[in-house]
Structure 1
Amino acid sequence: MNKPANIGSYKADDVEFLLKDLSAIKLEDSTENRELKVQSGVHYSESLPIEYQPPKAYVDLFWETLQEYKQKVALCIGIVAEQIYQLKGDKTVLVSLARAGTPVGILIKRYIHMHYHVYLPHYSVSIIRDRGIDENALQYILNQHPEADIQFVDGWTGKGAISLELTKACDDYHKKYGIKLDDTLAVIADPGYCTTLFGTREDFLIPSACLNSTVSGLVSRTVLNQQYIGKDDFHGAKYYHDLIPVDVSNEYINLISKEFVHIAGESAKLATKRNNEKIETGFLGMEDVKRIQAEFAIESTHYIKPGVGETTRVLLRRVPWKILMRDPASPFVKHILMLAEEKGVEIVPYPNLKYLCCGLIKSVKGINQ
């Protein structure tokens, strides 16, 4: 029977990772090699990028941004936490999608504990685009909590690929096991209009999007590679012990948590209002993506990553081609401008965009072949 892996730098009562520990296996490849493989049809979840270690100026910018927006992040967490608790109450089991969802799930758990004195169980599980959710992990959760009302949690939405993957995964699960799961995804920011459970629809910088594992409990992206993952195993991940000296995961959680006392009243009010409104989704961000695809003759929408969080990821772990920018003066894109300059990536002014920015991945097929 799978058991939660003892991985990551978070406290055990903040989250249980339902992942197989692959720390001893070399799964990393250079960004260029990996990009070539992914674009040639090897699934991205079979290997890992080498973790980018940012220069001091970038880390300083992370702390500056965090200090400036910690209350805004806390308010968005509070609104989502209140919505979840008002809708589901004590039966809620938080299930965050590793890894961007993990710090968000921890913060929601902390908020609910602080304001309702209830300890909700919180697990982190893997979901992978085109391959679905880790069903072994879901089975484990439902065995532990037969009455569970599962609430899935992620960091933010881009164009909605993971929201759609989650809906499909929940449908598949229902067909296979007769168990209906709520596929509504709770996020801090929903600039793509993909869900009804969100803190804001503004495309703003969630500071945990700036860094990789060092703000996500030192856990890698999740891996689904049949060489290492059997059919009854949880999906896998690595624990980057070597990054312990630069880990800020718990500092980030503590800093945001301290703000909850200032925003509780406002979040409860906004959440009640939200729960009584009809909220449209409509995946509006896809309109932008389709237009950009046609305008720049891009072969797949997979190469178009809209929103601050996704653009940051393109610069941190893919081979970027161009960055489209609605407003280069926005305080939420300072780190993107810094990364783009460091990597020599062109910034294209692009005012007609629902998101603040959009990262375009370079097509590397045919290069060096």
Structure 2
Amino acid sequence: MTTPALFTPLTLRGVTLKNRIAVSPMCQYSATDGVPNDWHFVHLGRFAIGGAGLVMVEATAVEAEGRITHGDLGLWNDEQQGRLARIAAFLKSQGAVPAIQIGHAGRKASTHRPFEGGHPITTENARPGESAWQTVAPSAIPFADGYHTPRALTVEEIHGLTAKFVDSAKRALAAGFEVLEIHGAHGYLLTEFLSPISNHRSDQYGGDFQGRTRFLLETVEAVRAVWPDDKPLFVRLSTVDGTPGGWSLEDSVVLAGELKARGVDVIDSSSGGLTPSMETANRPAPLYQTPYAEAVRRDAGIATMAVGLITQPQEAEAIIADGQADIVALGRAMLENPNWAQDAKAALDPEHIGDDAWPLATGYAVKSLKGFKAKRGLA
């Protein structure tokens, strides 16, 4: 029996993933002043113990004003870097490649946490010790009715934000991360520049495709210059806005080619988030974003990561085996079962699962339990 495609290693530059299973960056809204705590350590560490090949830290802001909420992680100071270093070291010790996503929330910043309603923070509804802040965007267009009206960034401020992405990339490297992802999706700042719906600028950072992609491409070039040649760089894109007149899959294919030419190794293919009416986000179906990853991979000639309601091992195996993507990323399925990778191995390759499929401290006990269940005809 051959090794399932999902469990074949993947080498990107000087980094090798032991399998093609990644944990998506998932905001926990549980930090204080951008600093991770024990919750983040345990939340991420359990996925590495569970066998995932790549574990990515949630969207991590490059400045305080770039956070979505007061509970978001950040990577702009030494304390944040030190706490993240502890997480990266543990992930690596368990055989996972430690990764981190850096970004800026743009006009979708200054909101309450989702489990508090997710609404924009105001003087009237602010929690004790928390307050709203001025949001920024390419143009002074709010995300939706009731949201803060952002201030349009000046050219000098755009250059300053590129420098902050570079600073966070340097900190990520110092903290021990081996994969870096730039967040250019879900309606946050870099996405806002890409789409004609949110970018109405008339200077060099607006207008046509070249102008609207300039900020992202300049930021990627600057980050790649400080991110080592032997470490992969990912970019997450909303490959479609899902709104008429917005960013298209064809745009993403062209942009992916430009990103590849600038040293990007993987496109993390997501969608939506720019407007509340994003159709596919409102009515998702299993594997609904996988065709985007397949199209970008095929037409731009770049490796992709598929994400979006991938829940079953057989689905993930088919995505890799059929060449639709090079990595599959799971979010909610991992929250439900942090041992998803181990269970997928048992389901797809039962002849080759042994004690070494689990950490040394638990493998012998899991094998004993499985034997007990087998004797009694239990699942």
TM class, shorter-length:
under 0.3
**What TM-score results when the alignment is normalised by the length of structure 2?**
0.25
Kindly indicate whether structure 1 or structure 2 has the higher relative contact order, using CA contacts under 8 Å at least 6 residues apart.
1
**What TM-score results when the alignment is normalised by the length of structure 1?**
0.25
